[in-house]
Structure formats: C-alpha cells, structure tokens
A = this chain, B = another copy of it.
C-alpha cells in the first residue's frame, strides 16, 4: 500500500573525491559529505548509509536515494562535499514525503534538476 512514511535509504559514496587528485591524502569529500549528513536533521523514516563507490566517479560526489517497492530510485551526482549536506538533506526530505519517489519538478532544487545521473523504476510488485 502506498505509504509516504515507508523507510528511505540515503546512500552516500564515501570514497568520492569530487575531482580531487588521487594523491591527496586525508578525508575524502564523499566521507565529509557523509559525516555532515549524519549530523543533519532528516525525517525519521530516512536512514543514512555509507557505500564504497557507485561507479559514478566522473560525476562525484554521488548519492543514491531509494526506499520501498513503490518508489523510484535516484542517483544524483556532482556534489562538492560537506558544503552540500543541506542541499542533499532538502532533496531526500522531499523524496521521503512521497509515495512513489517522484518529487514534482517545480519543487526540486536546481542541483537536483540538473544532476540526476539515473533513475530506476520501482519493483513492480502489484
């Protein structure tokens, strides 16, 4: 049954370098974004998980949002790191309020409009 409170997963690539040279040491932008999101105020039905590599390295930092058999899954890219935590939190909050994952175009941030890497339809369990 359609349910806007169904659990949502926010997957964050913790290995993303966001274009940073590979010989730079220290925390990666993806890990910093992950940490900043963990400190963010997110809806109760959202769980954050770190993932090592979405194979979207040319357009990282990257996140994936999914949740439940009735929502579309979205991959978004081109985040810069922790500075984008609020932007990501806004997007996932809107997604988590839907039953099908489809946030109306006019409600999406410019970044989310322009940096959708791919979307995958829900499992058709009906």
Contact = CB atoms under 8 A, between A and B. Distances in A.
A118 B62 contact: yes
How many copies of this chain? 2
Contacts of A64: 118, 120
Main secondary structure of the interface of A (DSSP, over half): strand
Contact of A119 (B54, B74, B121): B54
Interface bin, chain A: 20 to 34
A48 interface: no
A56 B118 contact: yes
Interface of A: 11, 49, 51, 53-56, 62, 64, 66, 73-75, 116-121, 124
5 contacts: A54-B120, A55-B117, A55-B118, A55-B119, A56-B118
